[in-house]
Amino acid sequence: MKTEKISEFTINRLSIYLRCLNLLAASGVTTTSSQSMAQQFQLNSAQIRKDLTYFGEFGVRGVGYSVSELRKHLSQILGLGELHKIGIIGAGNLGMALANYRGFDPKYFQVTALFDKDLSRVGEISRSGVFVYHIKDFKPIVMRENITMGVICVPAEEAQAVLDLITDAGVMAVLNFAPVQLNAETGVKLKSMDLAISFESLSYFLARQESGSAEGQPKFLRPYSKDKILPE
């Protein structure tokens, strides 16, 4: 493995590759190649290879990759060996929805506790069985339950204070849903999912469409790629 720094883009794609491999495995495929993956899933074969080689040489020249081997490697790289316990701060709509969410593999991610400052919510239990604690108990519960990831689901005004609290409790990985730029301490990994930005970006697009119209929007054409299946 190289000491080069690896970009967030690469890491995100590893998740995508793993997902593709899971699909292949589910349909009984045991061997694949960067080219065949690229075609099936609309990726670029060179990029797949380059991304993988940051972490090792997982393929065989002239042959390709073993689906099961590569899955194992990617899982390991992504730290999916052990269960990650998640604490969600803010037991409103979004927090509750995430606690009940079935979108991620329960083998790897488990929402272990909800927290809220509002006493009327404390003591509630989500449909999936997650208890709502008072925010003042955050640190002890994090310790007791060994929570390693925090999710911020509070209003923008409270988000920075919550991040500080999370950080203070020793949780080093945080996903933020509040529509604010937060300042994380060095060593803390903060990812933000900003709904407002996403909707405004869609809005921007729609505003362009209406005016521009007609004569082609070359900007939005999918780029040609060798790996795409071309109409004959």
Partner DNA sequence: AATTGTGAATTCCTTCACAGCC
Partner DNA sequence: GGCTGTGAAGGAATTCACAATT
The CB-of-61 to its own copies minimum distance in angstroms stands at 27
The CB-of-62 to its own copies minimum distance in angstroms stands at 28
Dihedral sign, Cα of residue 68, residue 82, residue 107, residue 100: negative
Closest CA to 56 of 80, 33, 38, 72: 72
77 sits near its own copies (criterion: CB under 8 A) = yes
172: partner contacted, choices DNA, its own copies, none (Cβ within 5-8 A by kind): its own copies
- Within positions 21 to 40, which residues make up the interface with DNA, using CB under 7 A? 32-36
66 sits near DNA (criterion: CB under 7 A) = no
Tokens representing 53 are: 């080689």
Size of interface with DNA, in residues (CB under 7 A): 29
63 sits near DNA (criterion: CB under 7 A) = yes
Q: Quote the CA–CA distance of 67 and 18 in Å, as a whole number.
A: 10
Which CB atom, from 30 or from 76, has the smaller least distance to its own copies? 76
Helix 67-77 / helix 8-26 crossing angle, nearest 10 deg: 140
- Within positions 151 to 180, which residues make up the interface with its own copies, using CB under 8 A? 155-156, 172-175, 177-180
Provide the 3-class DSSP secondary structure of residue 108. coil
Cβ neighbour number for residue 9 with a 10 Å cutoff: 9
The CB-of-45 to its own copies minimum distance in angstroms stands at 15
53 sits near its own copies (criterion: CB under 8 A) = no
> Of 29-37, 45-53, 77-85, 135-143, which segment contacts its own copies by CB under 8 A?
77-85
Tokens representing 19 are: 């997902």
- Within positions 116 to 145, which residues make up the interface with its own copies, using CB under 8 A? 127
221 sits near its own copies (criterion: CB under 8 A) = yes
Which CB atom, from 136 or from 168, has the smaller least distance to its own copies? 168
Q: Which amino acid is at 200?
A: E
The CB-of-217 to its own copies minimum distance in angstroms stands at 7
146: partner contacted, choices its own copies, DNA, none (Cβ within 5-8 A by kind): none
- Within positions 2 to 31, which residues make up the interface with its own copies, using CB under 8 A? 5, 8, 11-12, 14-16, 18-19
Write the CA distances from 111 to 84, 114, 116, 193, 205, integer angstroms.
8, 8, 15, 18, 35
Tokens representing 206 are: 């729609």
Tokens 């509630």 -> residue? 124
Chain-centre distance for alpha carbon 176: 12
37 sits near its own copies (criterion: CB under 8 A) = no
Q: Are 213 and 231 in contact (CB under 8 A)?
A: no
